[in-house]
Amino acid sequence: MEAIDLLIDARWVIPVNPAGRVLEHHSVAVRDGRILAVQPAAAAHAAYHAAERVELPRHALIPGLVNLHTHASMALMRGLADDMALMQWLQDRIWPAEARHVSPQFVYDGTLLACAEMLRGGITCFNEMYFYPGDAARAALDMGMRAALGLIAIDLPTAYASDAEDYLAKGLDLRDTLREQPLLSFCMAPHAPYTVSDRTFSRLLTLAEELDLPVHMHVHETQDEIARSVAQHGMRPLERLRRLGLVGPNLIAVHAIHLNKEEIALLVQNGCSVAHCPSSNLKFANGFAPVTRMLADGVNVGLGTDGSASNNRLDLFQEMRLAALLAKGLSGDARALPAQRALSMATLDGARALRLDHAIGSIESGKLADLAAVEFNVPDMLPCYDPISHLVYTAGRENVSHVWVAGRLLVENRELKNRPKNDLENLIVLWQNRLSMETKA
């Protein structure tokens, strides 16, 4: 018998690739953090001697979920400013609060909180865009979580950086320092066309091409954003990005709500990806992204939560269900965005946008063992006729029982195994007391 580190037996293994496959009574063998094999349980038991064996007789084992867009440390601003339009929310509440409070410690503590929430909900990888990305990285590593760090760039001074060159220099230094960390990857992260100049975009494009990094930014989130771009630049934001050379396979367009047919065709022709954030889109009343059309035409679409300040949950089960239901309701076609596609959007398609699909996003031999187990043997999950359908339309993050990242168990029986060294709850109370004055603004 071959020695391995871990053998997971599950009632169902749902590999995501190939789409729609459900493997009953199968086992996943793990060695050195990678999936060695996916086999029927009896064959796996005969082939392997495991240092640890986990039995999940009432569970579906799925790839760890990939949160394609978030601002993790804004978990400290959850509920700080609700029921407002996006630009009013930003200009009147969020940007002033950030100017007063955002610091390395804010980002570290807030990211710890976000990682704890995401891990307990089956999310094993998040694509981050915020200030002080090095402190976000430190929190993610302390929690054992995978992160794609956005090297943020805007043309506005903040406590983090004085100008666009300062943002880029600090981001590049961070990448050079942490590039060998196996849990970390990197993206260029210009905030949005309305906060980034042509000159900065040109510099950023050069760097993205030299380093072969994705470019992760908000695009076409509101009608107001588009109207301002037309007034200032004489063209819509996506056309401006095209002329600047940024519309290509590197681009992850976040939100992408207000797209016409020609713009969707542009994304398809250039191999772009979209981070669809349905809860945030709805909460700000920004509109409905044309996801059905994008998927039909061949755009790679992943799912993101956005930040806790604008959602207010880092919950990809909620986003899967909402994305599927919105697609059906808006298209008038109950077959639009079926459950297996929603699951792929939350796993493999998000990994593909980050260029991590060779390593994560599906349960296949050779890939990293980023896995989540969802327990089905509770009253609100019974009966089950189709486990993939159940994952999208019935399950919630509260049904996640176990989570592994690179074969390391981080959640067991719904409890975090790797709790922060600091008293996270008391830290959050301290931040709440500091931030509570903002609610009186």
- With b for 16 or more beta-carbon neighbours within 10 A and e for fewer, the 295-319 pattern comes to beeebbbbbbbbbbbbbbebbbbbb
- Over residues 160-205, the pLDDT tens digits come to 999 999 999 999 999 999 999 999 999 999 999 999 999 999 999 9
Percent of all residues in the chain with a pLDDT value above 90, rounded to a whole number? 88
Q: Whole-number mean pLDDT of the chain? A: 96
Identify whether the C-beta of residue 65 lies closer than 8 Å to the C-beta of residue 347. Answer: yes
Percent of all residues in the chain with a pLDDT value above 70, rounded to a whole number? 99
Q: Which of 249-263, 307-321, 330-344, 424-438 has the lowest mean pLDDT?
A: 424-438
Query: Is the confidence at residue 254, as pLDDT, over 90?
Result: yes
Contacts of 369 (CB under 8 A, 6+ apart): 6, 28, 30, 33, 34, 35, 404, 406, 407
Identify whether the C-beta of residue 262 lies closer than 8 Å to the C-beta of residue 285. Answer: no
- Over residues 55-110, the pLDDT tens digits come to 999 999 999 999 999 999 999 999 888 898 888 888 888 888 888 889 999 999 99
The DSSP secondary structure of 304-336, one letter per residue, reads ----GGGSS---HHHHHHHHHHHHHHHHT-TTS
Q: Which residue bears the tokens 């596609």?
A: 341
Class of domain 65-353: alpha beta
Task: Please give the order of strands across the beta sheet that includes 48-63.
Answer: 34-40, 23-31, 2-13, 48-63, 371-375, 400-405, 408-412, 415-416
Question: Please, which pLDDT band fits residue 437 given cuts at 50, 70 and 90?
Answer: confident
Residues of the chain with CATH 2.30.40.10: 2-63+361-406
- Tokens found for residue 307: 């930040």
Residues of the chain with CATH 3.20.20.140: 65-353
For residue 424, the model assigns a pLDDT of 82
Q: What is d(CA 190, CA 168) in angstroms, rounded to the nearest whole number?
A: 10
139, amino acid identity: A
Give the mean pLDDT of 300-307. 98
The CA-to-CA distance between both ends of the chain, in Å, stands at: 66
- Over residues 14-26, the pLDDT tens digits come to 999 999 999 999 9
Q: What is d(CA 207, CA 136) in angstroms, rounded to the nearest whole number?
A: 22
Max CA pair span of the chain: 70
- Tokens found for residue 384: 């089950």
With the CA atoms of 128, 130, 135 and 136 taken in that order, what torsion angle do they form, in degrees rounded to the nearest 10? -20
Give the mean pLDDT of 2-6. 97
Question: Please, which pLDDT band fits residue 438 given cuts at 50, 70 and 90?
Answer: low
Which CATH architecture is the domain 2-63+361-406 placed in?
Roll (2.30)
- Over residues 100-143, the pLDDT tens digits come to 889 999 999 999 999 999 999 999 999 999 999 999 999 999 99
- Tokens found for residue 184: 């970390």
Give the mean pLDDT of 314-318. 98
- Over residues 372-384, the pLDDT tens digits come to 999 999 899 999 9
Which residue has better confidence, 92 or 350? 350
For residue 440, the model assigns a pLDDT of 56
This model's pTM is above 0.95? yes
Identify whether the C-beta of residue 114 lies closer than 8 Å to the C-beta of residue 70. Answer: yes
Give the mean pLDDT of 23-44. 98
